[in-house]
Structure 1
Amino acid sequence: MISLAQLKKGFVIMHNNDAYQVFECAHHKQGRGGAVLKTKLKNIKTGAVIDQTFQGNDKIEKADLSRKKVQFLYTDEDAAYFMDEQYEQFSLDKDALQDALLYLKEGQKVDAQYLDNKPIAIQLPPKVILQVKEAPPAVKGDTANNPAKTAILETGLSVQVPMFVNTGEIIRVNTETGEYVERVS
């Protein structure tokens, strides 16, 4: 059991005897009342999305998931394809992966989450290293107030980066916030 404060986007929980993945969660503090947690949950088996509000003292049961290292292979219009360490391939619906594909390169290793021996989601590392595909040149003299520019990375992800980052450079990006962390080379 976990408390509401521990619940985050991406968690898989048991609710009404079904497994749900948390797509959105927002804490709300009400005037004199206790805090509530408003969530959007996606049923793992049916794909149905529901809105669910939890009260401040509710306890939530985390689903019993297993994890395996997998390698990201490629995507097509509908799905992303992965291979586990026994060379068995499987696919996950692009909708189920949300924005995770923006942090994945072909050949990258990630953890897959399994429920009842069926892959249901992937877990990204906290930070990934990606190459800057496109970055506008820095404007000379534009150094007031910690300036930033928008760079497009090799996966299509747009990130605000410092002015000194140029096309072709390698940077580290936080997968939880989508923010630039540091320049690697």
Structure 2
Amino acid sequence: MPKINGNEIRPGNVLEHNGGLWAAVKVDHVKPGKGGAFAQVELRNLRNGSKDNVRFRSADKVERVRLEQKDQQFLYENDGMLVVMDTESYEQIELPAEILGDRRPFLQDGMTIVVEFYETEALNATLPQKVICKIVETEPVVKGQTAANSFKPALLDNGIRITVPPFVGQDEDIVVNTETMEYVERA
């Protein structure tokens, strides 16, 4: 695995540190008036989700890990485990449902997700950036209510509450951004 200097760490990099796999969440480069420059890095453990703040000097060497990304098709959920299938080899594996975090409700049958593997261990999964959802419940359209920022609450078919523009009605399909959990457009 390639070793990089402490000042080359960027957000999103996966590092092997203290015997664990850590993702760099936030990186601040600090040049104090006295002493050498260093990078203050906020790390998140990919296995258990714990966080740590570490200082890396430019002379420190750290191992950068490359995760293999594979497209997996979601099949079904069984006892808190998501069963997904590799789209190339048709091999099925189980992932814990917590791997998706608060984006879990946006997972739909047959959806293709990207799973990041370290050797054979699945560490992370990401949904497509945009998904189509149906509005189950929202306030009716009020004529003349066209102010610039007047969004109204809506309940989606997956149980998530978001805000939508006033012209969007009940039983309509909309596109939702899974990263920000916000309305994007009508489907």
Aligned match of 1:128 in 119, 128, 131? 131
Cα distance between partner residues in 2 of 1:56 and 1:145: 49
1:176 aligns with 2:163: no
Whether the aligned pair in 2 keeps the contact of 1:37 and 1:56 (CA below 8 Å) is no
Q: CA, structure 1 residues 21+134, in 2 after alignment: closer, same or farther (shift >3 Å)?
A: farther
Partner of 1:38: 42
Q: CA, structure 1 residues 147+108, in 2 after alignment: closer, same or farther (shift >3 Å)?
A: same
Structure 1 residue runs without a partner (length 5+): none
1:68 aligns with 2:92: no
Partner of 1:161: 164
Cα distance between partner residues in 2 of 1:60 and 1:124: 30
Once the two structures are TM-superposed, the CA of residue 115 in structure 1 deviates from its matched residue by 0.9
Structure 2 residue runs without a partner (length 5+): none
Q: TM (normalized to structure 1)?
A: 0.74
Cα distance between partner residues in 2 of 1:15 and 1:50: 12
Q: CA, structure 1 residues 103+3, in 2 after alignment: closer, same or farther (shift >3 Å)?
A: farther
Partner of 2:100: 97
Question: 2:139 corresponds to which letter in structure 1?
Answer: P
Cα RMSD (Å) of the superposition?
3.3
1:21-51: CA deviation from partner (whole Å, max 9, x where unpaired): 56xx456799x78884434x2242xx36243
Q: CA, structure 1 residues 137+82, in 2 after alignment: closer, same or farther (shift >3 Å)?
A: same
Higher Rg: 2
Once the two structures are TM-superposed, the CA of residue 61 in structure 1 deviates from its matched residue by 5.0
79-88 or 175-184, larger mean C-alpha shift: 79-88
Q: CA, structure 1 residues 49+134, in 2 after alignment: closer, same or farther (shift >3 Å)?
A: same
Q: TM (normalized to structure 2)?
A: 0.73
Partner of 2:146: 143
Whether the aligned pair in 1 keeps the contact of 2:42 and 2:51 (CA below 8 Å) is no
2:181 is paired with a residue of what secondary structure?
Answer: coil
Once the two structures are TM-superposed, the CA of residue 87 in structure 1 deviates from its matched residue by 3.0
Question: 1:69 corresponds to which letter in structure 2?
Answer: D
1:14 aligns with 2:16: yes
Q: CA, structure 1 residues 155+55, in 2 after alignment: closer, same or farther (shift >3 Å)?
A: farther
Whether the aligned pair in 1 keeps the contact of 2:45 and 2:51 (CA below 8 Å) is yes
2:99 is paired with a residue of what secondary structure?
Answer: helix
Question: 1:123 corresponds to which letter in structure 2?
Answer: T
User: How many residues were matched structurally?
Assistant: 176
